Amino acid sequence: MMGTIPPEHGIFLAILLFLLGLTGVLVRRNVIFMLMSLEIMLNAAGLAFIVAGAAWGQVEGHVMFLFILTMAAAEVAVGLALVLRMYHCFKTLDVDAASKMRG
Amino acid sequence: MFDLLWLIPLLPLAGFLTITFGGSRLPSAAAAVIGVGSVSVSAVLSFLLGGTFLLHPPEGDAHVQFLWTWMLVGDFAPSVAFRLDALSIVMLWVITGVGALIHLYSVEYMRGDQAFKRFFAYMNLFVCMMLILVLADNLLLLYLGWEGVGLCSYLLIGFWSEDPSNGAAARKAFIVTRVGDTAMALGLFLLATELGTLDIQTAMARAVERWPVGSNLAVATALLLLIGALGKSAQLPLHTWLPDAMAGPTPVSALIHAATMVTAGVYLIARTHVLYSLAPTVQFSIAVIGGVTLLVAGCSALAQKDIKRVLAYSTISQIGYMFVALGVGAWQAAMFHFMTHAFFKALLFLGAGSVILSLHHEQNMLKMGGLWRQLPVTFWTFLAGGCSLSALPLVTAGYYSKDLILHEAWLFRGMGWFPWVAGVIGAFLTSLYCFRMLFRVFFGEEKTHVSYRPGWRIHLPLTVLAVLALVGGFCETPEWLGHVNLFSRCIEPILPAEAISESHAGGMIFFQVTALGVPLFGLLLAIILYLKPRTVSTNRFMRQRTIQRVRRFWLAGWGFDALYDALLVRPFVWVAQINRNDCVDRFYTGIAWLNGMGHRLLVLTQSGRVRWYVAGIALGVAFILGMVVAS
């Protein structure tokens, strides 16, 4: 029998991934990388659900992960469309260039 | 037959509603037909009803048509009821008859005006309100009509609202009459609380029962109603609005500011004359006010340049005569003069309107002249009206009514000679300013070219009114001239004749000679001063500095406007300006300032950078999580 991974390790990994993703969103200016970082954050949240579901032997954690997966797919679809439009408008993917809605 | 009474005010109201809600779908011609038609039909109806009434007077010399109870508050239940009696018939005939003629005249006068339909809507509403005023059986309904005509007067003075000065004139008229109306409303409250009713007949009967002659309540009520009448009838000291009211179209001046609305005050006092008999001091003051007013306004009319302002001051002065008559208790004479005045003053205004129209809206008399060849119909009718206004003896209606007033004032010695002397001097002034105007406009050299010739719609009302201005007085002649007393006999049940004590009847020859001669003397002086080329000495006399100063003083209407401006308007504006910064306001402006500051602070956070927002959200989430974990 495989040794089970203690839930603390899984949660720690999820927090680590989440913070990495958040840092990516905050520091990257390229909008594609921001989207990728967002994906990492989403997956971190999904991992936390899985770990929690496994730890308590509940199925809802897995169900939530499926939801997150679906939502992430939709988010990417919309996000990539926005990226295309943005490139069309500003001829760059620098997110700071799109700061006209100021004040 | 009398059941049709409610139709008389309803028809103009229906006309008003049709024209108003017809909107742009209604062609102008249809609006004219509706406007003139509704008033004409109600004129025909009132002649039929009035004729029947006078030939076969019903019991109690009045017919009251109860329509419905207006409201029911405890014991106070004013009704919507119309009362037909001799007094209201006189008013009815003048309002609808003269009103219909003026409506017909307006079709031509206002032709091509952008707001042609609006004009007729307002005019119809005015006629409706005026009819409600004179037919009302209780003072509350009368007050409805009273305020209604005030509103229409405001709307019509400011009719050409593109010019801000017209709007100012309209506001002035509204606000000055409001002073009187407030006093009148207080008087009505006093009547309602003290006598428990506003029904005119009941209230008068109760007043006689409960209040002794000269009691404080009677004096207070009579005084408050009198102030209301002064405002509406443009008497001193509330007369300043009427000359400015000439800013409205000329038919409006003829209908509202000469024939009907401004005499509402006379009607009110005649209607409630019982009250004034209970308050002799107030009645006394009516005569004084009337006498002073007719002199002040007569002098002002002498110096005016604008033809309509001459007529406006003349109206004030003639209503002063009516007030003198009311003050000496000659109720019948007041109403008689009201009737003849409506004829000749409406005629004069319409004639002036015809001149103004022909000269492309020129109102300055100094730029007129020699029009008698160009506008013969206008000239002859204007002459008839002018003679009637100056009370030229025997052939004019104005003579008979003015003679009646002077006669009663002569017999009345309650306060010495003042009413009679004022009346006689006034008659001289009237004749002088009237012929000054006539000679300036129609004689002398032609100064402005006639650009338009009026048609039958103008000539017909002028002719009818000219005939009335000449023969309208034959229904009441003095004793030595046939002693016809049709008018006074009809109106006797409502307005009792003055009990004349025979001991005062002496000196009649002197009185008659004066009454006959004074207008002729005025005419003679007018011929010397204004018709013939002036001799060197008269010219030098007229150019004297004192004469010129007096002329300017009278031109400004004895400085009443400047006085009120300094006394009331400017202090009010000053107080208003001070109050702009009061401490209560500070609190509210403080709140507004705080909000503004918060706005400016929060605007800084909206940088437009997505990454800052993300950081903000992350920090916020961390903060909330920290709070949750810590607690």
Q: Residue B446 pLDDT more than 80?
A: no
Q: What is the mean pLDDT of residues B275-299?
A: 87
Which residues of chain A does B611 touch, with a Cβ-Cβ cutoff of 8 Å?
A: 25-26, 29, 34, 95-96
Residues listed for chain B: 631
d(CA B48, CA B52): 6
* Chain position carrying tokens 């009792």: B496
B629 and chain A: CB distance < 8 Å anywhere? no
Q: How far is A50 from chain B (nearest CA, A)?
A: 21
| Residue B328 confidence (pLDDT) | 84
Q: What rounded mean pLDDT belongs to chain B?
A: 85
Taking only the tens place, the pLDDT of each residue in B223-254 is: 899 999 998 888 888 888 888 888 888 899 88
How many CB atoms lie under 10 A from the CB of residue B199?
22
Sign of CA dihedral B456, B457, B460, B465: negative
Q: Is the minimum CB–CB distance between B615 and chain A shorter than 8 Å?
A: yes
Whether residue B582 has pLDDT greater than 80: no
Q: Which amino acid is at B350?
A: L
SS3 B566: helix
Tokens found for residue B542: 């007229």
**Using 50, 70 and 90 to split pLDDT, how confident is the model at A80?**
very high
Q: Which one of B610, B612, B625 would you mutate to disrupt binding with A, by most A Cβ within 10 Å of its Cβ?
A: B610
B614 neighbourhood in chain A, CB within 8 Å = 25-26
Average pLDDT of the segment spanning B550-577: 85
Q: Could you tell me if A20 lies within 8 Å of chain B, comparing CB atoms?
A: no
Taking only the tens place, the pLDDT of each residue in B58-115 is 777 788 888 888 888 877 788 888 888 888 888 889 899 999 999 999 888 888 888 8
Residue A102 to residue B607, Cβ atoms within 8 A: yes
Whether B185 shows a pLDDT value over 70: the answer reads yes
Cβ-defined contact of B611 to A100 (cutoff 8 Å): no
Nearest to B608 among A29, A34, A101 (CB): A101
What percentage of chain B has pLDDT greater than the value 90?
A: 10
Q: Do residues B45 and B7 touch, judged by C-beta distance below 8 A? A: yes
Partners of A32 on chain B (C-beta within 8 Å) are none
Contact of B203 with B191, CB cutoff 8 Å: yes
Asked if B326 and B235 count as a contact pair (C-beta separation under 8 A), the reply is no
Least confident of A65-79, B40-54, B326-340, B446-460: B446-460
Residue A23: which pLDDT band, with cuts at 50, 70 and 90?
A: very high
Which among A25, A98, A103 is the nearest to B603, CB-wise? A103
A22 interfacial to chain B (CB closer than 8 Å): yes
* CA distance to partner chain B, nearest, from residue A34 (Å): 9
CB pairs under 8 A between A and B: 29
Res B166 pLDDT > 80: yes
In this prediction, residue B413 carries a pLDDT of 67
What number of residues does chain A have? 103
Q: Which pLDDT band, with edges at 50, 70 and 90, does B454 fall under? A: confident
Lowest model confidence (mean pLDDT) among B392-406, B410-424, B447-461: B410-424
Q: Where are the beta strands (DSSP E) in B405-546?
A: 414-417
The CB-based long-range contact list for B384-387 (8 Å cut-off, 24+ gap) reads B384/B344, B384/B347, B384/B466, B384/B467, B384/B469, B384/B470, B385/B344, B385/B345, B385/B347, B385/B348, B385/B351, B385/B465, B385/B466, B385/B469, B386/B348, B386/B434, B386/B435, B386/B437, B386/B438, B387/B470
Interface predicted TM-score (ipTM) of this complex, two decimals: 0.84
Residue A103: pLDDT band with limits 50, 70, 90 = low
Cis-peptide into B454, omega within 30 deg: no
B23 pLDDT exceeds 80? no
Amino acid at B45: L
Distance from CA of A57 to the nearest CA of B (A): 25
Among chain B residues, CA nearest to A23: B615
Chain A contact set for B622 (CB, 8 A): none
Q: Distance between CA atoms of B100 and A21, rounded to whole angstroms? A: 90
**Model confidence at B538: pLDDT above 70:** yes
* Opening angle at CA B301, ends B299 and B307, nearest 5: 165
List, in sequence order, every residue forming a beta bridge with B414; answer none if it has no partner: B416
Say whether residue A29 is in contact with chain B using an 8 A CB cutoff.
yes
**What long-range pairs does B161-165 form, CB within 8 A, spacing at least 24?**
B163/B247, B165/B247
Q: Is the pLDDT of residue B491 over 50?
A: yes
**What letter does residue A93 receive in the DSSP assignment?**
-
Separation between Cα atoms, residue B194 and residue A27, nearest integer Å: 87
Amino acid symbol at B163: D
Least trusted range by pLDDT, from B2-6, B272-276, B562-566: B2-6
Task: Give start and end residues of each alpha helix (H) in B239-370.
Answer: 241-244, 250-254, 264-271, 273-278, 280-303, 307-327, 331-358
Quote the CA–CA distance of B452 and B444 in Å, as a whole number: 20
Lowest pLDDT segment from A30-34, B329-333, B425-429, B474-478: B474-478
Q: How confident is the model at residue A64 (pLDDT cuts 50, 70, 90)?
A: very high
**Per-residue confidence band for A1, with pLDDT thresholds at 50, 70 and 90:** very low
> How many Å is the maximal CA-CA distance in chain B?
117
Subunit contact A25:B611, Cβ cutoff 8 A: yes
State the average pLDDT over residues B591-613.
Answer: 89
**Under 8 Å between Cβ of B98 and B255:** yes
The answer to whether B583 contacts chain A (CB < 8 Å) is no
